[in-house]
Structure 1
Amino acid sequence: MFEEITMTTPAIKEAVEFEDTFLQNKIERRASEQREKAIRDYYSYMNSYKEEGITLGMKKANINTAINLLKLGVDVDTIVKGTGLSIQDVEALKIKIK
């Protein structure tokens, strides 16, 4: 019964025939698999770069915040606690802004 329905509906019949041809053609199948892999790799790289960009952006924001707090005279320990920067980073910023 399923075969009768699929073969009498033109769109389904065309899809089934395409699938049969596709599965029999190893070169087509390999090219399709490579396209799919390239798409997955692309999205994986984009997510990785996005996360890296967010991390760098947050660090830059923390550095700018630390500089502003140093200019206001806030002590280094408080800046370290508030920004997550290391003591060495904050001390280096302190030297740079003098």
Structure 2
Amino acid sequence: NPDVYKKVDKIPDYVLISLRKNKEDWQRYLDFMEHKESKVTQLKAFIYTIPNKQSKMYLLKNDEVEILEEKLVKGTSWLKIRYYGSKTIEGWIKKTDVE
């Protein structure tokens, strides 16, 4: 009886939120996924749905974000981020907005 595997495209939010509750588990997840965490350094950092397309959402100074990806668009460095607040948010911010 062969093992059957299913590819997971996205880890469910409830799993990520559970991992964040334990510092060791969260660090293992970040290391495994090759993601980093960073803090917002600007008073207000707008979140973009895609690079150069600003949404109404924003983050505040010292908010922690998980960095999922980095992309250079027309000379500007962008980071795809995930923010865990009362609602989990994914989007893009300018690299200059974080430490």
> Do both share a fold (TM > 0.5)?
no
Q: TM-score, normalised by structure 2?
A: 0.23
The higher radius of gyration belongs to: 1
Q: TM-score, normalised by structure 1?
A: 0.23
Higher RCO structure (Cα 8 Å, ≥6 apart): 2
Higher strand share: 2
Higher helix share: 1
